[in-house]
Amino acid sequence: MKIRGVVEALNEREVKLGGKWYGIYTEEIPKPKEGMEVEIETKRGMIRKLNVIKTMPEISPAERPRILEGFTELVETVWGDLYITVNTLEGKPFEILVRIAESDRGIGDTCGTIGRLVSLALRSGIGVKSILEELQGIDKSSPNGVAASIPGAVAQILIRNFVDEHGKEPEDLVYFEDCPNCNKEGALVLQGGCSTCHSCGFTDCY
């Protein structure tokens, strides 16, 4: 029996097509990837042969225009003053430049790498929400209201300026941290440019 469709999911021993799982008969059968269009030959629910009809399109980052509008914000971190420049295209973030004021070469290289990778994701059409989910998961600590994580500082700037057109953060995009006052885990949230604890009421905007 021949079946043609797009791979919806897969694991080590099965492939899902059309809402149904099919077992892989032998290790010699090539393993497809999610999103690929394939044709399989099955017998008793097992894939005996698999041909890739269409592979996933390659993602190419958009070319950078010669002139972009943008802004630069200063963020205080445990590494020193961090300057984050966000260049935009049609009102959306297109490029991130991260520079530390005074630090060793290793931290400077890290800043440059973070900026280039976030820029590559933005230029490739990755949504801000997806980028924030990755940046926020690296380091959520904030001793004395000072950012301990360079990726976290970049996330704060993106949240503050691009979460929605009103500058307010939806519940699934707020920047949770541990409160430096009561030490409650995940109680500190960025709202309106201020970090506020939902447990003890601490805020860094006095």
What are the DSSP calls for 130-188, one per residue? Answer: HHHHHHHTT----GGG-B--HHHHHHHHHHHHHSSTTS---GGG---B--TTT--TT-E
Between 66 and 143, residue with greater pLDDT = 66
Helix (H) or strand (E) holding 54: strand 46-54
pLDDT at 36 over 90: no
pLDDT at 56 over 70: no
- In the chain, what's the furthest Cα-to-Cα distance? 70
State the pLDDT at residue 55: 61
State the pLDDT at residue 188: 66
Give the chain's mean pLDDT.
Answer: 79
CA separation for the pair 163, 189 (Å, rounded): 14
Between 78 and 51, residue with greater pLDDT = 51
With a CB cutoff of 8 Å and minimum separation 6, the contacts of 97 are 84, 85, 86, 87, 115, 119
State the pLDDT at residue 170: 43
Question: Considering the entire predicted model, what is its pTM?
Answer: 0.54
Mean pLDDT (whole number) for 120-141: 80
Reported as a pLDDT band with limits 50, 70 and 90, residue 147 is low
